[in-house]
Amino acid sequence: MSKRKTMTTTAGAPVSDNQNSLSAGPRGPLLMQDYQLFEKLAHQNRERIPERVVHAKGWGAHGTFTVTNDISQYTRAKIFSEVGKQTPMIARFSTVAGEQGAADAERDVRGFALKFYTEEGNWDMVGNNTPVFFVRDPRKFPDFIHTQKRHPRTNLRSATAMWDFWSLSPESLHQVTILMSDRGLPVAPMYMNGYSSHTYSFWNEDGERYWIKFHFKTKQGHKHYTNKEAKKIVGESRETYQEELFGTIDRGEFPKWGVYVQIMPEAEAENTPYNPFDLTKVWPHGDYPLIEVGEMELNRNADNYFAEIEQAAFSPSNMVPGISVSPDKMLQARVFSYADAHRHRLGTHYEALPVNAPKVPVHTYHKDGQMRFFDNFAENPDAYYEPNSMNGPVEDESYREPPLKISGDADHYDHREGNDDYAQPRALFNLFDEGEKARLFSNVADAMQGVPEHIIERQLVHFHKCDPAYAEGVAKALGIKVPDFAQAS
Ligand code: NDP
């Protein structure tokens, strides 16, 4: 056996005794000069960083994205430049509401965050396993999240708060219906789809813009737990997603997703009957069919979960030439708030951590700050401001995004005909077979336990507007009389 390495302090000095503190005598007291003891305790005290306010519990892995179809007429993004091209990436999946110690198999929306290390910088896609979201305006986001988290007095989750908010926010019905359907409780990350949810944009070499939505379709098939199955699973293990994702990849069985994009020419956004930038809406496939783009495969576990998954920092502000934002109000807010959350959680230089660092050279003029451990970006140390005549890095206008034409008043899109909150949940409800509908009703009824009657009745009105059978099914599952909807609405 080769000689074992000598243990050291963080300053690299050999440690002579790691079993006994330096002591004045066999019964103590201890000596102030035992800096190795202090170092050990001080490090332990600092092992935790703030967990994410949302999406705290997560599971992830490294992987590869491969282009299988040429979409370069829509985007100049190098990641899509040729069929067969491969780009390294990392994925982190998560539940929204649970804290870091929460059980994996809980009914909740799943985060589906991806970072692609492209040759023109990192492109992040911070999606969910649902194509829509609960609210369309970021002013409502912190309130919504408060209803998912703990009550300030009881420190317990509150079904009353959730249904109070949802019943007062009809735009949430689409996402609530997905959450309470079979797909609201996947068996593990590889058995669910991912969606950009937001509308983003592509722009090509000719300066033409397209509105786009990404879809990541599981190649493992959809698998879900019923509430009853999940209850049993959680009783046996709270870590089923980590076990399954880590174990599968460790065995060399690599989960895959087909990557697709829906594409809308820029001008068409003025004419769709629904607001194409409303995060509570999908684009029907009949109008905008899925166009194949490539395949995503997860094929390498992290060696250090904390360094590579907990510290992985995804943000929609990470865009590359050819991929950009859209007027989607929720996306506009996330472009700010995600990077802001990482600066708070990980520090100013979070992008320089190995898992977040791009695989291409970085040339900014940012300076100093806590934990600035990397070299000057410019080869010439005199070029530490900009503009300069010291041969420092300069802007390149060939990367400028085409200008966005804005029209209409500020609320323009929200007033268009057909922009109702019931048509798309209805289309989804109509996709469900009788078994799926029965499980939807009982999942809603389970989630409404303990909620005051007036809130339940307000929510039943929304179900009724979606489809009378939806309200009747839920009322029956709750064991209550169906209210007089003619009066209520
Ligand atoms: P389509 O019939 O063309 O597409 C249905 C979509 O719904 C597919 O993406 C399918 O995903 C997904 N789906 C199928 N069964 C379920 C289910 N039980 N729970 C959740 N999703 C399911 O219809 P439209 O495009 O016209 O959309 C109809 C409704 O389908 C929408 O209102 C929306 O609620 C839902 N939907 C639509 C999506 C879209 O981007 N258009 C995406 C996802 C859902 P898969 O192919 O993986 O089975």
| Two structure tokens written together for 250 | 């460790």
DSSP letter (8 states) at residue 323: E
What pLDDT does 358 receive? 98
| Two structure tokens written together for 365 | 């003029």
Residues of the chain with CATH 1.20.1370.60: 135-168+432-489
- State in Å: Cα 234 to ligand 1 middle: 29
**Please, are residues 457 and 482 in contact by the beta-carbon 8 Å criterion?**
no
Whole-angstrom CA distances from 111 to 141, 184, 194, 319 are: 16, 12, 8, 19
Q: Of residues 55, 215, 349, 462, which has the active-site annotation?
A: 55
Which pLDDT tens digit goes with each residue over 278-298? 999 999 999 999 999 999 999
| For the chain, percent of residues with pLDDT exceeding 70 | 96
Q: How long is the chain?
A: 489
Interval 443-470 mean pLDDT = 97
Which pLDDT tens digit goes with each residue over 170-224? 999 999 999 999 999 999 999 999 999 999 999 999 999 999 999 999 999 999 9
Interval 87-99 mean pLDDT = 97
DSSP, collapsed to helix, strand or coil, labels residue 265 as: strand
Closest C-alpha to 117, from 359, 459, 427: 359
What pLDDT does 407 receive? 72
To the query of whether residue 55 is one of the catalytic residues in this protein, the response is yes
Q: Of residues 128, 356, 419, 443, which has the active-site annotation?
A: 128
To the query of whether residue 366 is one of the catalytic residues in this protein, the response is no
Nearest CA to ligand 1 atom 16: 431
| CATH (residue range 58-132+187-352) | 2.40.180.10
Which alpha helices (DSSP H) does 186-239 contain, by range? 227-236
- State in Å: Cα 148 to ligand 1 middle: 25
User: Which of 181, 216, 285, 470 best tests ligand 1's pocket when mutated (most atoms within 8 Å of CB)?
Assistant: 285
**Please, are residues 282 and 130 in contact by the beta-carbon 8 Å criterion?**
no
Nearest CA to ligand 1 atom 41: 284
What pLDDT does 488 receive? 53
**Please, are residues 92 and 343 in contact by the beta-carbon 8 Å criterion?**
no
CA 38, 44, 48: angle at the middle one, nearest 5?
145
Residues of the chain with CATH 2.40.180.10: 58-132+187-352
Q: Is the pLDDT of residue 419 over 80?
A: no
| CATH (residue range 135-168+432-489) | 1.20.1370.60
**Residue 285 Cα: closest atom of ligand 1:** 25
Closest C-alpha to 126, from 256, 238, 279, 289: 279
| Two structure tokens written together for 17 | 């005794």
- State in Å: Cα 346 to ligand 1 middle: 37
Give CA–CA dist 390/454, Å, rounded: 70
- State in Å: Cα 178 to ligand 1 middle: 10
Q: Considering only CA atoms, give the Rg of the chain.
A: 26
Nearest CA to ligand 1 atom 1: 285
Give CA–CA dist 333/340, Å, rounded: 11
Nearest CA to ligand 1 atom 14: 431
CA 317, 96, 432: angle at the middle one, nearest 5?
105
Q: What is the DSSP string of 56-72?
A: -SEEEEEEEEEE-S--T
Q: Is the pLDDT of residue 7 over 60?
A: yes
- State in Å: Cα 415 to ligand 1 middle: 25
**Residue 218 Cα: closest atom of ligand 1:** 47
Q: Is the pLDDT of residue 416 over 80?
A: no
Closest C-alpha to 241, from 258, 227, 214, 223: 223
Nearest CA to ligand 1 atom 44: 131
Give CA–CA dist 192/18, Å, rounded: 47
Q: 330 Cβ partners below 8 Å, 6+ apart? A: 133, 135, 136, 137, 138, 141, 198, 279
Which pLDDT tens digit goes with each residue over 125-173? 999 999 999 999 999 999 999 999 999 999 999 999 999 999 999 999 9
Which pLDDT tens digit goes with each residue over 223-232? 999 999 999 9
- State in Å: Cα 428 to ligand 1 middle: 7
Nearest CA to ligand 1 atom 18: 432
Which residues have CB under 6 Å of ligand 1?
131, 178, 181-183, 193, 217, 282-286, 424, 427-428, 431-432, 436
Give CA–CA dist 332/279, Å, rounded: 11
Interval 12-24 mean pLDDT = 96
